[in-house]
Amino acid sequence: MLQYFTVNTSSEIICFIIALVYLSKDKDGIWRSMIIFLFITCIAELAGFHFKHLYLADRSRTHSNA
């Protein structure tokens, strides 16, 4: 599980937690929607990292998808 926490994913999760703490009290909907955006970003980064490892673990592929 610790392999998922790179510098990028750790900084995004920290930003999400900070936004959750400070922006949840804001009355403006635009700023509160940033919480949803950061949550989706964290999920996409973690899922992308997982799919990358699944792709690299399959040795039947001869060409990189990069």
* Residue-level pLDDT, tens digit, the chain, 66 residues: 667 678 888 899 999 999 999 998 888 888 999 999 999 999 999 888 888 887 777 777 666 655
Beta carbons of 19 and 52 less than 8 angstroms apart:
no
Q: At CA 53, angle to CA 51 and CA 58, rounded to 5?
A: 100
Beta carbons of 23 and 31 less than 8 angstroms apart:
yes
Looking at residue 56, its pLDDT comes to: 76
pTM of the model: 0.75
